[in-house]
Amino acid sequence: MEFDKLVDVYEELEKTASGNQMREILSDFFKKVPKEDIALVSYLTLGQIASEYESAVLGLAEKTVLKAISSAGGVSLKKVQEIMQKTGDVGLTAEKVLQKKPQTLIPLGKLTIQCLYDILHKIVTLSGTGSQDKKTQLLVSALQKASPQGAKYLTRIVLGTLRMGAGDMTVIDSLAIAFTGDKKNKEHLERAYNICPDVGVIAETLATHGLKGLEKIQVRVGRPIKMMLAQRVKEWEEVVKKIPGTLAAEGKYDGERVQAHKTTEGKVILFSRRLENITDQFPDLVEYMQKQINAKEFIIEAEILAIDKEGKHLPFQTLMQRRRKHDIEEYIKKIPVQAKVFEILYLNGKSFLNEPYKKRIDHIEKIVHKGKHCTTADRIITDNITKLKTFFGEMLEDKQEGIMIKSLEGTYQAGTRGWNWIKWKKDYSQDMIDTFDLVIIGAFYGRGKRHGTYGAFLCAVYNAKEDTFETVCKLGTGLTDDMLASLPIKLDAYKVKMKPGRVVAKKEMEADVWFTPQIVVEVLAAEITKSPFHTCASGLALRFPRFVRLRDDKKAEQATTSEEVQDMFEK
């Protein structure tokens, strides 16, 4: 298929301000895409060239892309830079330059999806000395074949700035409509997506083998599984109602969740809560797991905690310093870590997703050789609420967030916030409302002291059923001066010209600046109230919201959902 066919879709999507229209455009298009191109087309609609967990990094800077535009268009770099100054956008610059390109005597042929795939993946594999030049040449070869509009989107894909407003779930919905004729079948796609969060694999399987093919998708070591989440309750008594009889309680550690995969070749791969590959950040953890987890092949989950020399747990903020690309060796020594293993999803060729937790615990305890850097979660198994409360107190003394209460019979519900896990945090016991993880989707210019920057941010929750973002509050309190200075810079990369298609906002909440849903912040609020101005669960808002911290470990679709806010409001 020619890349220009996808370019037409990009042009349409760019003008669309509604999620439903976006799904219509995409599903109509997917029907026409040949099977061999459907996986790549699915990634490309998200502005990616592979699934996120594969971390296919092109490693091309804006300067290099401008150079490639200059070569492909036969225009001096100086002229390209001048156009860039005027347009402020690499994509528009590429389009303008290539519109003026003189026709070659021998036509170079049209850029196809397959050719684009080959070129971009070749770029990903190049590294070391001389690789920048080779990468530039490859990009030039793609640009020479592209149409001017094609070049506009191609350069944005390369720089990771293509923002069509679609998310994984938009693609999943559109695939369901395109290949099964009914959005209702989305459920089947979602089930497969939870154990294989890769839109390319889902698209290809559906296009080639239909819904039956999707049922056969299995857990695969090296490909992350969507993580299971916990429900919350308001009173202790509710815990016993939801999980009657004997239950397991573990510490709810305030660290970073990790899903570790070990292949039969002995390689350990670490995935974050966002399902990104974070192996390079924790080579020490990889080694501990290789040494202390006795199994040929596994998928386990653990909470990573920073520890001091004596092995005492340190706050989350300390661990955050390990989130870095440079000076890793230095920080391994400065901030040692400990993994508290609490789940096993796969062991030596067998999936454990459908096994009851009591069985999974047995295996965890069997394979983890406990040590300072790799151990299992503290756990009690009891039917006695007093013991549960004592355990909760112990965890608070250890400065943990609280406890996780787990059904011993419960299976691992990938990607689901089900009742097999219930969280109980110290905030609940102090009668404070829980925090919310909200997505910043807009901003309002500041006045007075905040003149020249943003005065407040428009925040949204995720509506998982509709795949939309619904506004829930304006946030302006609790931000430190540092955060007020750094947040706008962070948000700048996600600025868009109009309200993104998946954002649902009332006209009273018309922001001065809109952002693609991307940045997640944790917010504490005093109350949930009804509001005619916000769209969360058809009119709920947070009162007196206060910024707590950035949640870089969460994707926009992992924010608090409108359903959760509705539940909390009713409670």
The phi and psi torsions of 304 (rounded to 5 degrees) equal -90, 130
* Joined tokens for residue 62: 């804006």
Q: Nearer Cβ to ligand ATP, position 404 or 458? A: 404
Q: What is the DSSP string of 123-185?
A: HHH--STTHHHHHHHHHHHHHHHS-HHHHHHHHHHHHT----S--HHHHHHHHHHHHHS-GGG
Q: Nearer Cβ to ligand ATP, position 188 or 399? A: 399
Considering the complex, what minimum distance in angstroms separates the CB of residue 571 from ligand ATP? 16
Q: Which residues bind ligand ATP (CB under 6 A)?
A: 229-230, 250-253, 257, 273, 303, 342, 377, 404, 423
The residue type found at 527 is E
Contacts of 401 by beta carbon, 8 Å cutoff, 6+ apart: 252, 253, 254, 395, 425, 426
Q: Nearer Cβ to ligand ATP, position 404 or 541? A: 404
* Joined tokens for residue 137: 């040449």
Considering the complex, what minimum distance in angstroms separates the CB of residue 52 from ligand ATP? 18
Under a CB-based contact definition with an 8 Å cutoff, are residues 559 and 520 in contact? yes
Cβ atoms within 10 Å, residue 230: 16
SS (H, E, C) 145-159: HCCHHHHHHHHHHHH
Q: Nearer Cβ to ligand ATP, position 177 or 520? A: 520
Burial class (CB in 10 A: 0-12, 13-18, 19+), 232: middle
Q: Which of 252, 262, 474, 499 is catalytic?
A: 252
Q: Which of 404, 413, 489 is nearest to 454 (CA)?
A: 489
Task: Please indicate whether residue 145 is annotated as part of the active site.
Answer: no
Give dist(CA 540, CA 244) in Å, integer. 32
* Joined tokens for residue 480: 């430190």
Q: Which of 416, 426, 419, 394 is nearest to 405 (CA)?
A: 419
* Joined tokens for residue 430: 């102090």
Give dist(CA 307, CA 305) in Å, integer. 6
Helices (H), 398-540: 426-429, 481-492
Q: Which string of b and e fits 190-220 if b means at least 16 CB within 10 Å?
A: bbbbbbbbbbbbbbbbbbeeeeeebeebebb
Residues with catalytic annotation? 252
